Amino acid sequence: MRLDKFLSTTLGITRKEAGKLLKNKLIEVNGEVVKNGAQKVSDDCDVQFDGRSLCFDGPRYFMLNKPSGFVCSHVDDFNPTVFILLDVVSPEKLHVAGRLDGDTTGLVLLTDDGQWSHRITSPRHVCEKIYYVETADPIAPETVEQFAQGVQLRGEKELTRPAKLEILDEKAALITISEGKYHQVKRMFAAVGNKVEALHREQIGSVELDEELAPGEYRALTPEEVASFTK
C-alpha cells in the first residue's frame, strides 16, 4: 500500500493532510524519515507518527466490483486474482466470502474475519444472493415455478433450495438463491435446458454492490453493512 493511503486509513485523515505530515518530516518508516507518499509499505514495516507506531485496528471488510477474467483465489497459474486489485497492506491475509467464477462479475466481499465470512458461506446460515443473468435461449415462464420448487442438479442428491426468479426480458432475469453450490446458477439453468451466457452478482444479504464502483474498484464496508451479517 502507498504510504499516504496507509496514513489516511490509520489516522482517519485525507491524502492531502497525510502529504503535509510527510512534508513536515513527521513520518518515519523503519526508523528513517520519509517524505514520499508514494513509497510502498507492507505489514512488516514500522510506520511511526510523532513517535507512535501506526497499525490497522481490528478486522477488515471490503466490497469489490469483480471484473470478468479474475479468479477469487490467491494463486492461479493462468488467470489474475482479485487480490492484485487491492491496494491494501497484507492482501494475502484476506479471503473471499463467497467466491465467483472467473467469468462471473459483480459483488465480492473480502475480509480477514473468518467468523464473519462463515455467516455468509456456511450452509447452516441462510444468506440470500441476487444475480442478474442473461441466457442463450428465451426463459420459459414455467422456469419461475421450477426454481421455486427446487431443481435437481447433476451429481446432487437433493433438490436445490427454493429460488426466486424474476424474468426481466426474454433472455434476462434476476435470480435469488440462498445457498452456494458449485456453479449453482449455471447448473440450475442447465437443468431446465437453458444456458447462462452472462452472470453478475448484485447483492449478498442486504449489502448491494455500490453503483459508484467501476469494475476492478473496491471500498471498505460501512459499519452498518458489516453488522448486517451478524444479526
- The CA distances from residue 126 to 47, 129, 176, 210, 217, in Å, are 42, 10, 12, 22, 28
Q: Mind spelling out the 3-state secondary structure of 6-61? A: HHHHHHCCCHHHHHHHHHCCCEEECCEECCCCCCECCCCCCEEECCEECCCCCCCE
Angle at CA 80, nearest 5°, toward 153 and 154?
A: 5
- The three cell numbers of residue 216 are 476492478
Q: How far is CA 185 from the centre of its chain?
A: 18
Q: Which 3 state secondary structure label does DSSP give 78?
A: coil
Q: How many CB atoms lie within 10 A of CB 107?
A: 23
- How many CA atoms, within 13 angstroms, populate the side-chain half-sphere of residue 2? 12
Residues noted as catalytic = 101
